[in-house]
Structures are given as structure tokens and as C-alpha cells.
Structure 1
């Protein structure tokens, strides 16, 4: 059994990371925060890379890739703290529409001409929808109140939770990177604080947690691609674990930066606030904890090593 990610998928994710790193840095986040949250040029760049059509079938003008590929790209969107609603439309709405046989808008989505904002009963808001505007802890999210009677489609919930988990992993990785970079240049008692054992241990703890979270995320995406009955359990595991990892990364990065880690002047706050926002999206930590608990204790998912790779 080969647990490695497909090389072509990794190469695409690396290309997206390089592109977003060069076009969507902290300076861009500050410009967006000061001037409307959205930039058509950024969106057009995502379209030209084919990301809006990542999961759209080739027959509809897309790339026809998998949810595992989608999770890899969502991770990069989190790492870059991407403001544009790429994940909600291209990585959540598209596979949901395909599963329902509603393919009429796929070509327009792939071309970047249409956004799809889907409500779900678990969310009291809709991202980039139309309606009564809501305030968000994340200044770069555009939220409106969810319509009354929003459905509770389980597939939509799992897709949203999976892609939120992927973004949380990317956010945690970026916050760790920022904390490490700061620890190398911030001096105390004549030495970089990164040389102090307490700082090393704090950052190492985050790195270790992320090593354990990433395979949980990839397994959840593959389980959904394979249509496994246990896929919702794996998705909840991924969302639960990714939320904890992002919170640990945020807390540790703030502490490494000192008290100013909370302030607007430090770039970290964009990633930290996005992590807080996504931790409650598509089911919060308690919601997914109870889904795991119900599956394990209720007998829906048998326990034991003989079932691990069934």
C-alpha cells in the first residue's frame, strides 16, 4: 500500500504555493483590508491557473481532478490566507453540484464567471452571498446571514468541513513559519530568542502536531474520493485535529512574538483571525468531536487494528 501523495498533485500544489507567495503576501492582505476585500486581478490570476476549474470535469472546461487534489490546493489557500472565495465555489460547491447532477453552471464556474455560495444549517452565515451583512472576526471574509430553512445536506457538510480543515492546516503551517522567522531575528540578552530551549520546544511542539495532522487530512480526502461509508468520520477527525493544530500554532506564534503578536501591526493577526473563523465553519470542534464519539461508541465504525485499513 502506497501512502505517498501523487507526484503530479504535489507539483501542482507547489506551483500554487509559489504563485500565491508572489502575489498574495501580507502587503496585499493589508491593501485588501483597507479597500474592499476583493481584487479582480487576483481572481483572474486564479482563473488563469485553472484553479476555478480544478474539480470541474474536462468536458465542462475544467481539469477534472480529485478531492485529494482539492484539499492540497485548499491547504495552500490557507497558507496564503487567500481572501478570494475560491475554496467555497471551486472546491466545495463544484463537487456538491456534480454529485447532484446539477452541471449547468460548471463551465461558467471554471471560467471564473460565476460564484456559488451555499447555505447549510450548521452555519449561521453564508460566505460571499447576498443578503444582510454580518461582521466577522476575520476582516477579509464577506459574510451574510444564512437564509431561513437552510438544508442540512450531509455531503455538503463533509465537503465544507474537509476544505476548512485543509485551510486550517495551511494556516497553521504559515503561522509556524512566521514564528520561526521571527525567532531567528528577535534578540534578547544579546542572542536570537530562537536559540533558547523554551522557544525551540514550543515551536517543535507545533511542528510535531502538524506532522500528525497532515495524514489525517489526506486520508479524509481520499476516503471521500473513494466513497467510503466511513468518510464522514474521517472528515470529522480531520476538522477536529486541524482546528486543534491551528489553535496551537496561533497561540505559540503569538507567544513567540510577545504581546505585540495580537496587534494589527504584526502580519500574524491575519492568519490568526482566519484560523479562528474557520475553526467554527462547517461544524466547530465540539460538533465534530461528537460525530466521532457517536460513530465510535455507537458501533457505526468498528474499532481495532483489523479495521484500520479495511
Structure 2
């Protein structure tokens, strides 16, 4: 069996990479990180490519593509360390909104007019004296590590995996921006004090699919970021000279680069299959999402460490900027579930625990 990307997916990948290489330079990323410009500017440009509406049906103004196509885009965005609301607005939110028949909001997302953040953190791993309390459709409590601090709406999950839609401007809702290692994507804390919400779903399967899809995209994001660090390491090793010869000629550096390739390349087929399973093999989708994100978290961490070592002292400087990818990989490791939590979930799925 030969499994790979279709010609259309390869064209999508090439088009996206070409655009990001030309328009989202590292210098522009630095401006977003330093708050000189907003990531909304980049998001509007991505709207012209149809990326916000990638998984939204054509009837709602979207492109109507699947999880594998989204994984291809996620890898491209991470390769260029692009600041965007892709994970929340373009991937996780549409799952619940499509199930709820929220056609107007879906159309607004596809058009780049609205962004929807994701507040699943307290359901994934609730903290003591935290979480969401629900009385009817009124929410109170706190949500930590909410994806996208500039969203117009938020999808909030409670302990029973019910989903609620809340406007960012709702009375009683307070947003507190959080500082994390990854400055290319924003997260916040939501504090809710008797906030009126709209019930979007009472079906745990909708929450689970949204979460699993997000985990696969996080794995694809780590894959793209790690591949970029690997490629930068090879280029640097061919240019940097020591003892009158390029360091790429040293056996130790060759082994470091070879180890990164050997560890990372099998991950690509793993991510592709996990994304494929989300649409085509539903009975395997949840287990694959857990295994894939857990494995990429470990491999991504190892590649990020080795790539930094290949660069030597320069790997820690902002001049090279390698730390943007390093920190993105680190944040991906924890968001939507750490490797330890995911392996525990996988063990439960298989009946080992």
C-alpha cells in the first residue's frame, strides 16, 4: 500500500509554503512577538488563501477540506513559525459549530470576520478550586490556557464535556492575558461571573472529536517546527567554519544531523495517518491522536535540543531566532495534554488501565 499526499495536497502545501516564505519573515514574526503589529494582520492575509475556512463546508463559505489537508497547513504554519489562530478558529471550533448548525458564525470565521477561542483546559486537567460551574446556561469559574486571547467568541467545555459558546464581550467575562514561553500564539485566562452562554453541544463525542483533531494539529505543528530547526541546522553546519573547515565535515555534527532526520522522518507518516483516521477510520482516531501527539512531543523536544547544540552559542541568540521554534515545540508539548496524560488516555482506550 502506498500512502502519501495527493497532487492537490502537494499543491496546497507548495502554495502555502511559498506564500509564508515571502510574506511571513522572521522579522515580521518578531514584530508580532513585540506587539508592534497584531497577528490579526497576518490572519486576514491567510483569509485570502482560504485557511480560516479550510474545514468549513462550502455552503458556509469555506473550502470544505478534511483533517489531512489541515495537518498539511499546520505543518507549513509551524515551519515558518507563523502567528495565527489556526488551531482554535480554523480547526477545533468548526467541529462543534458545524454540529450545532451555527451557519452564520461559520461563514464569519471563513470570511476572517470572527475568531473563536478554545477553553478546554479545565476539562482536560481540572485544577483544585477551579473549573466551570454551570447553572442552566449560566457559567461561573475560571479557565486557564485558553487558546487565542484576541478571539471574538469562546467555546467553553465543562466537566461533563458539554460545550458552551460565549461572546468575548459578554457581561461578567474577564480576559487576563497569560505569558508563556511561546510568544507566537496567545493564550489567556477566562474569569466568568454568572455569564450567559449558549449551549452548543450536550454530546461528549463532539467535544472529543474537537479535542482529538486539535491534538493531531498540535503534532503536525511540532513536526513542522522541528523540520525547520533541522533544516536550519544543516544550512548552518555547511557555513560555519572551525579549524579552517566547515563544521558539517565533522563526524560528530554529521551524526547529530543524521539522528534528527532518523527520528523525525517516520513522524511524518504517523501524523498523516492520524489525520487520515480522523475522517476515514473513526474507530482508530482517538487512539491515534493520543499516540501521535505524545510521540511528536518527545521527538520534537529531542530535535529542538540537538538543533540548538549544532548551532552552538549562536543557537541561543535572537539574531538566529532559533528559540521561536524551540519554544513553540515546548508549548505544543503541554497544550491539550502532556505526553504523560496522553499515554494514560491511550492506555484507558485500550483497556490496559
TM-score (norm 2): 0.79
Task: Check conservation: 1:119, 1:147, Cα contact below 8 A.
Answer: no
Structure 1 residues 227 and 99: alpha-carbon distance in aligned structure 2, compared to 1, 3 A threshold: farther
Of 121, 124, 133 in structure 2, the residue corresponding to residue 122 of structure 1 is 124
Residue aligning to 1:305: none
Greater share of helix: 1
Secondary structure at the residue paired with 1:125?
A: strand
Misfit runs of 4+, over 4 Å = 146-149
1:169 aligns to 2:223 (yes or no): yes
1:94 aligns to 2:94 (yes or no): yes
Which moves more between the two structures, 21-30 or 120-129? 120-129
Q: Distance in 1 between matches of 2:233 and 2:38?
A: 27
1:237 aligns to 2:291 (yes or no): yes
Q: Deviations over 1:246-268 (max 9, x none)?
A: 11111011101113312333210
Residue aligning to 2:183: 139
Of 311, 315, 334 in structure 2, the residue corresponding to residue 280 of structure 1 is 334
Residue aligning to 1:308: none
Greater share of strand: 2
Q: Deviations over 1:52-99 (max 9, x none)?
A: 111111111111111110111011111111112123211221133223
Task: Check conservation: 1:161, 1:235, Cα contact below 8 A.
Answer: yes
Q: Distance in 1 between matches of 2:3 and 2:245?
A: 42
Secondary structure at the residue paired with 2:289?
A: helix
Q: Deviations over 1:210-251 (max 9, x none)?
A: 211111111111111125222110011110121122111110
- Higher Cα Rg, which structure: 2
Which moves more between the two structures, 286-295 or 35-44? 35-44
Residue aligning to 1:306: none
TM-align CA RMSD = 2.2
Of 252, 256, 281 in structure 2, the residue corresponding to residue 202 of structure 1 is 256
Q: Distance in 2 between matches of 1:213 and 1:282?
A: 19
* Consecutive unaligned residues in structure 2, runs of 5 or more: 126-143, 150-167, 169-174, 194-201
Which moves more between the two structures, 191-200 or 36-45? 36-45
Query: Structure 1 residue 7: deviation in Å?
Result: 1.3
Task: Check conservation: 2:182, 2:331, Cα contact below 8 A.
Answer: yes
Task: Check conservation: 1:37, 1:83, Cα contact below 8 A.
Answer: no
Count of residue pairs the alignment pairs up = 299
